[in-house]
Amino acid sequence: MSDTLVRVKGVDKRFGSVAALSGAAIDLERGRIRAIVGENGAGKSTLAKIIAGILPRDAGEFVLDGAAVGPWSRRQAIAAGIGFVPQALSFVATLSIVDNHLLAGGGLKLDRDGALSQLQKVAADMDVSLDMTSPVERLSLAGRQLGEIVSAVAAGARILLLDEPTSALGPVEIERLIRTIRRLASGGTSVALVTHRIAEVMEGADDITVLRGGKVILDGATAGLDANEVARLMVGDRDRGRATRLAATSDWQRLKVSSLTLRDKDQLVLDDISLAVRQGEILAIAGVAGVSQPALAEALAGLRGMDSGRVDVDGADVTGDPARSTRLGLAFIPENRADGIVSDLTISENASLFEMRGKAFRRFLGTRDRSAEHDHGKRIIADFDVRPPDPEAISGGLSGGNQQKLLVGRELARAPGVIVAHGPTQGLDLAAAASIRAALTKAAADGAAVVVISADLDELLELGHRMIVLTNGRVVAEFDLARPVDMTLLGQAMMGLNTMETAQ
């Protein structure tokens, strides 16, 4: 009997005009752990979800137990013994592990005592101690992660796909998880570990697949591999053809962050973050996507209180005070556009949300000036190519890309002094993305302090004067983008291999 349980070859997957996978290939073998690594957007999770039956492939071969597989669903994958634990854990927080297990299993007759006994046996075999009957929300993050793995194995998983299982865990929890995965593999389970942490790959995985831009760059055994070379392969060479950007010359720190620390239950989300952004400067923030980036973006905008630390805009404390940060001229472009656009309002109303109290938008006795709102909506439509070009169109009916252009246009139209942009060009075509990058660059040239947090490393290298790398809630490196960037050092910092000593 062949030890190859799953073989995919020549797999393509597109999302609109974006090629998430191009000719991807991978083997998952009995009793072996395969790491699937790559930077944000490399196609790691897409490949795992295709194997798990969550996403359909556009082209390519899928062989399971030596037999070719046609169209593939999640139900078929579960029946074939393919378990999947997503990065955003799927258990219902108010239910216990056993109840979540029963909920996922379905069926008309539920045997709670039998399910509990089965889960406890699997946990014992994995050398894991978990409370199976209390609500999941009472467990630590590591406990919830292990609970989902136990549930998948108890459901009959012989192939286990783990999507970024350690992204929010500390060193002790990571060691425990790797030990658990190793025990599963020794019992014959095939494990695919989607991750960005090179150290744990070298410790826990037998084989490795490196993806970059949807293509397999490296495929082979981890034995003998150098971690620094893997990091370099993940990010590639981004220096060639990049324009040199002059450093900002002003000393005026329009945005200052001092010792921000945030805990969420057992997890340290932000760990003593300090930074400053000067007038005319664009600070690029890189790092593998996780909980720290959105938490930092919200903290900078005053939307999230901290356990300790302070955020200042033009010398005024705005920590946990979004209204004050807005009054002081801070513009915020959230990662999720639904957090910034009111879908039931028109384009002109969304465009004018922060202007409606101004005299220019008020008539006699303080009533709203609809014509002023209409004209303001027209200007943003024209400046940012929002479609349809109708200020009275309902915003919820716009495409995602056009909602993003409306959101960015509204924020930048206020001529803000500080801009915090989290994923400002996501969902946009090349022309629209280029126009927004140009607008952010112009805002900095006009005197704004700009922070750009993005999963797109090329975007950060193009826009920034400086770059910091946020890994596991800490600033681990800083790069002066006026000089060529050592991509090996950048890759090492993003993967947690080095700290501030690597900064240029």
The pLDDT-based confidence of 267 (bands split at 50, 70, 90) is confident
Q: Structural domains in the chain?
A: 4-235 (3.40.50.300), 253-344+415-495 (3.40.50.300)
Cα–Cα nearest to 80, from 107, 53, 50: 53
pLDDT number for residue 241: 38
pLDDT of 344 above 60 = yes
What pLDDT was estimated at residue 240?
A: 38
- How far is residue 21's CA from residue 215's CA, in Å, rounded to a whole number? 6
Mean pLDDT of 471-498: 86
492, 286 Cβ separation under 8 angstroms: no
Query: How many of the other CB atoms lie within 10 Å of CB of 458?
Result: 11
pLDDT at 338 over 60: yes
Residue 242's pLDDT is 46
The reported pLDDT for the residue numbered 501 is: 47
The pLDDT of residue 265 is above 90: no
Structure tokens that stand for 281 in this block:
């400067």
User: Which range, 196-200, 264-268, 378-382, has the best average confidence (pLDDT)?
Assistant: 378-382
pLDDT of residue 359: 84
Task: Indicate the pTM of the whole model.
Answer: 0.69
In terms of DSSP H, where are the helices of 155-205?
Answer: 171-186, 198-204
Contact status, residue 250 vs residue 472, Cβ threshold 8 Å:
no
pLDDT at residue 95 in the model:
94
Residue 144 has pLDDT above 90, yes or no: no
Q: In the structure, how many helices (H) and strands (E) does the chain have?
A: 16, 20
Residue 493 CB partners (closer than 8 Å, separation 6+): 469, 471, 476, 477, 499, 502
Residue 278 clears pLDDT 50, i.e. is over it: yes
DSSP per-residue letters across 285-320: EE--SSSHHHHHHHHHTT-S--SEEEEEETTEE-TT
**Confidence (pLDDT) at 172:** 66
- Can you give the pLDDT at residue 243? 47
Neighbours of 303 (CB within 10 A): 19
pLDDT at site 360? 86
Q: Binning pLDDT at 50, 70 and 90, where does residue 171 land?
A: low
- Return the pLDDT at 331: 97
Residue 328 pLDDT: 96
Per DSSP, the three-state class of 375 is helix
